[in-house]
Amino acid sequence: MKKFTVYQIDAFTKEKFKGNPAGVVINATGLDDAQMLAIARELNNSETAFIFPSDSNDNDGVIRYFTPTVEVPICGHATIAAMYAKAISENLDSCILKIKTKVGVLPFAIHRKDDDYKIEMTQGAIKFEPPFDKKTSQEISTALGLSENQINNDYPIQIVSTGHSKVMIGIHKNEVLNHLKPNFSKLAELSQNIQCNGYYVFTFDSNEKDCLINGRMFAPAIGINEDPVTGNANGPLGAYIVHHNLVNHNGKLFDFKIKQGETMNRTGYMNVKVNIENNNPVMIQIAGDAVIVFKTTITL
């Protein structure tokens, strides 16, 4: 029998019960895949992160991520939560940790200020798939409940990834965004055809002056009808925005703030940095706050 320390943490917020909740097991050594999946299912967050000790000289630790139904390669909000839990539990100073994930070893920065922390995550390699053809784009739009005049046709519907791919869908109005009623079974069916489980609907029609983007993310194929605040959607979105020249930037760095989760009453905020070379996005970083909701132990 072993005691495992479990945190419930809300990421991308400093207010409990807002942002995106994630489970974190900070001492996961000894758990097998079935046990990790069972813990993730029991906690019933969109993702739970499991932290293991370093397994080689090239990393400071290993993280695996499980939804209630499946393991995923990486997760933005669960990384923020995991690094926050690690920083709190080990009373860390500001540092950069090299953490091994299913998409490679990535640097995660812990910024300590006034006995609290903000976490910055460097995401994986940026990948763009070709824009969808008209028929597939129409199927995606229809499944999301969007009419043709609600979509911004200047923004191609396509898959972008920084480790965990998402479909980007740009629309005109925040009011439309907040009233979307997707067909989740159809989205899940489409995910099998396009080999991508997440759909990120976004708009520049933000209702807050310091936020560039409002968004909503749906991933019913992996058991997440809607995710409150999604690092693996907004990171790729930053790459997409620069790739398609949708904003002005200085040619080196473009950073912006997003708001997500409003319709779920779990509003959270994320900062996204896009490093740029030759007008192309080359590296994505996301940053956010976190807050502990509870800490407990599980004996297995």
Determine the Cα–Cα distance for residues 16 and 272; give it in Å rounded to an integer. Answer: 22
Asked if residue 64 lies in contact with residue 52, where contact means CB atoms within 8 angstroms, the answer is yes
Asked if residue 32 lies in contact with residue 64, where contact means CB atoms within 8 angstroms, the answer is no
Burial letters 210-232, b for 16+ CB under 10 A, else e = ebbbbbbbbbbbbbbebbbbbbb
Known catalytic residue at 47: yes
Amino acid at 183: N
Determine the Cα–Cα distance for residues 114 and 80; give it in Å rounded to an integer. Answer: 18
Amino acid at 45: N
Give me the catalytic one of 15, 42, 47, 175: 47
What is the β-pairing status of strands 253-260 and 280-288?
Answer: unpaired
CB atoms within 10 A of CB 251: 10
Determine the Cα–Cα distance for residues 292 and 35; give it in Å rounded to an integer. Answer: 23
What's the chain's length in residues?
A: 300
**By three-state DSSP, how is residue 86 classified?**
helix
Question: What are φ and ψ of residue 19, in 5° steps?
Answer: 60, -150
The 8-class DSSP code of residue 17 comes to T
Residue 34, CA distances (Å) to 28, 42, 49, 70 in order: 13, 12, 14, 10
Nearest CA among 292, 296, 295, 255 for reference residue 117:
292
Residues marked active site are found at 47
